[in-house]
Chain A
Amino acid sequence: MSTFFYIILNIANSIDNNLNFLYNTPISEFKEINARAKKGGAILSEPILKVQNLKTVFFTDDGQVPAVDGIDFYINEGEILGIVGESGCGKSVTSLSVMGLVSEPGKIVDGKIHFNGEDITHAPERKMRTLRGNEIAMIFQEPMTSLNPVFTIGDQLTEAIRIHRKISKKQAKDRATELLQLAGLPRPKALLDNYPHQLSGGMRQRVMIAMAMACDPKVLIADEPTTALDVTIQKQILNLMKKLNRETGTAIVLITHDLGVVAQMCERVIVMYAGKIVEEGAVRDIFNHPSHPYTKGLLASVPDLRRQTSRLYSIPGNVPKPGSITEGCLFYPRCQEAMAICAQKRPGLVDLKNGHRVRCFLHGEVEEA
C-alpha cells in the first residue's frame, strides 16, 4: 500500500515539476513577438541555444548509465531542428538536460549549455525558473498528464499569466482567450470554463501550445508532440507549430521517432543512437544521402505509402542497453558494413560538407576524442 502512495506522490510531483516552469513566466505582448519575427530574417551569428559535450548520467543500482554521452548541437533563432532516434537513444534526456529538469538519480556530469550566450549548465534553480517557459518552453507527448485535471483551462492559463504580471483577472482572461485563439481553438471564451477531460487529445495539445507560447519563448522544445494523436489531428498540430514558428520566430527543437514528421517539419536534423549523435545535417542531405549505416537502415525500414515494396529492410538485433557496449562503435553489433576497426575503436564525428557530420569509420578514420 505504501508503494502505491509513493507512486501517486511521485506522479503528482512530476506533474507539478513540469508545470512549474510554465507558471513562472512573464508574458509579453504579441507586438514584440511580431517585431522579433521581422528581425528574425537576419539570423544572428550566434546560435540561440548551444550544447557542447553534454553528458547526462543516471546513477542506478546497476551502475552508471550514460543516457546522453557527449553530444554537441546548436539551434539558430527561428530554426526548426529535429532530433530523431529510437526509444532509449537519449533524445528526451537531452531536452530535459537543457531545461534543467533531469531528476534524481540523473545528473549532468559534463558539458556546457549556452542559452543566448549565457552558460546555464549549472544555473541555480531560481535562475532556471526565470528561463523556463519565459525563454525556453516545452510541450510534452501526453497532453493529459501535463494539464491539471481539477482546474479549468481558464484557471490554468490565467494563473500562469497572473503569477508573472501584475494585471487584473479580467485582463489575464482576455489574454488567455487571445492565446487560445492563436492556437486555433474554436470558441475560446467558452473553452476557458472547460476542464481538461472535456477536451479531445488534439485540443489539449493546442492548449499546451497556447500555454507554451504565452511566454513568448525564444526556444520551444517539443518532445514527441504528436505521437499520441491521430494522423489527421497530427497534421493540424504540425501545421500550427509551423505557423507559429513563421509568425513569432520561435526556434523549435522537435524530438520525434517519426522520420516522416522530420522530413515535413525540419530544416536540420540530428540522428541519435545509444546516447550519441551518429549523424547530423540538413534534412535534404540526411534523407537523400544518408551516410551512417544506422540512418540508412532507419530510412529503409519505414514503409513508404507511395511505393509497394514486397519486403522491408530491417536492422538486425536490438537497441543496446545504454552503457552495455564498452568497446568499439556502439552500432557495430548491428551494422551491415562493419569493419575490423569498428570492433576496437570508437569513431568520432567526420565532417562531410555543409555541416553534414557522421560518426562512422567508413567516412574516414577519425577516432573519438
Chain B
Amino acid sequence: MAETILTVEDLKKYFPIESGIFKRTVGHVKAVDGVSFEIKKGEAFGLVGESGCGKSTTGRMIMRLIEPTSGRIVFCGKDLTAMDKKALRKTRKDIQMIFQDPFASLDPRYTVERIIEEPMIVHRLGSKAERKKRVRELLEVVGLSSYHAKRYPHQFSGGQRQRIGIARALAVNPKLIIADEPVSALDVSIQAQVINLLQDLQKQFDLTFLFIAHDLSVVHHFSDRVGVMYLGRMVEVAESSELYRNPKHPYTNALLSSVPIPDPDYQYDSEELAGDVPNPIDPPKGCAFHTRCPVAMDICRKTRPELKEVAPGHLTACHLYNN
C-alpha cells in the first residue's frame, strides 16, 4: 500500500455571525463540521458536493488560507495546524493550488513569465536565468509555447489561462495539488483538454491531487477515490468506480441519479430529491440529510451517524448500515 501523504482529522470550520455595533457573535455557520479523510501518495482524491457543502472551505483549510476552528491536518507526517508562519511557508511549497476562475486568479498587470516565476521567487528557488528557463519549460509542459511568456493574461482564452494557472502551480515542484473546480468555468471541449493535461501531469510528475468539483461525471472520470460531502459533513468515501456502481448513502444515490446522461434512451430514476439544502447556521439535528432523505428513520432525527466502513474501503455515515 502506498504511503499516506495527507490526513485530515475531524476538521471543523465555524464562521461566526456577528451582529450589532459591538460585533457580538450571535451564531455560527458550520461550513465544515467534522470532516476526516486521507489521501495516499500518487492518487487523485475527489471531493464532490453541492454548493455550500464545505468542499472549497476544506481545500482552503488544508492550505491554511482559512484557519480551521479545530481538527488536525497532517501532511507528510507534519501537523500543519500546529505550524508557525515560517514553517508553514516552507511547507506550502509542497502544496499548490489551482483555482476555478482563470480570469480572476491571474494578475492582469503581470506578464505570464512573472506570474509563473512568482512562486519560485517567493521560495527563493534558482537564479534569475534559471527561473526564466524553467518558466519556458513549464509553458511547453502545459501545452503553451515559450513565446507566450511575454504576454499578458488578457491575451489568452479561458482554457489557455487555466494552463497558465497549472504551470504556476507546478513551478515549485509540489507534492500535492489542490484543484478547486479547475474546469467548471470552461467549455466542454476545453474542459476535456484540461482534464487530459492534468492526468498527463499526474503521471509525469507523480503528483497527488485533491480534486474539488461539483460535476460528478468529471470527478468520476478524474479521481481514484471520491468523498461526498453534504452540509459540512462527509457522508460517503469510496473508490470511484465502487461509489458510482454501488452508492450506499441515500444522498449519494440521489446525487448520482440527478446527473443528466448524454443518452436520449437513458431511463431516469423518476424520483427527485425534494426541497433545498437546509441552512448551515441551523443544520438539522441528527443526520443533516434526514429532512430530504426518502428512507429516514426515527434514529436519523436524533443521532448523528458516524462515518464508518461498511465494505472494504467503502465508508458511509448512515444509520441504514448500523449492523
Contacts and interface: CB of A to CB of B under 8 A. Distances in A.
Interface of A: 86-87, 186, 200, 202-203, 230-236, 238-239, 257-264, 283-284, 287-288, 297-299, 301-306, 308-309, 311-316, 318-319
Contact of A284 (B240, B254, B260, B264): B264
B105 to A, nearest CB: 18
A233 to B, nearest CB: 7
A306 B268 CA distance: 13
Nearest to B156: A318
Contacts of B273: 232, 235-236
Contacts of A239: 272
Given A200-B276, A235-B273, A230 B196 contact: no
Contacts of A257: 187-188
Interface centre among A238, A258, A263 (most CB of B within 10 A): A263
Nearest to B276: A200
B283 interface: no
Interface of B: 50-51, 157, 159-160, 187-193, 195-196, 199, 214, 216-218, 220-221, 240-241, 244, 254-266, 268, 272-277
A274 to B, nearest CB: 12
A86 B189 CA distance: 8
Contacts of B187: 86-87, 257, 319
11 contacts: A232-B254, A232-B258, A259-B262, A260-B260, A288-B264, A301-B191, A301-B192, A305-B220, A309-B221, A318-B159, A319-B189
A304 B259 CA distance: 10
Interface centre among A87, A231, A302 (most CB of B within 10 A): A231
A136 to B, nearest CB: 26
B258 A231 contact: yes
Given A230-B214, A231-B50, A297-B189, A304 B262 contact: yes
Given A203-B276, A305-B256, A86 B264 contact: no
A3 to B, nearest CB: 16
Given A235-B272, A319-B187, A303 B264 contact: no
Nearest to A282: B264
Contact of B264 (A287, A313, A319): A287
Contact of B190 (A288, A299, A318): A318
Contacts of B258: 231-232, 234-235
B259 A305 contact: yes
A315 B192 contact: yes
Contact of A231 (B214, B264, B265): B214
A101 to B, nearest CB: 24
Contact of B188 (A259, A284, A287): A259
B199 A232 contact: no
Nearest to B189: A315
A314 B221 contact: no
B261 A304 contact: yes
A260 B262 contact: yes
Given A86-B189, A298-B189, 20 more contacts: A86-B190, A231-B50, A231-B214, A232-B258, A232-B273, A234-B260, A235-B272, A262-B262, A264-B266, A283-B264, A302-B217, A302-B262, A303-B218, A304-B261, A305-B216, A305-B220, A305-B259, A315-B193, A316-B193, A319-B187
B50 A263 contact: no
Contact of A312 (B221, B265, B275): B221
B214 A287 contact: no
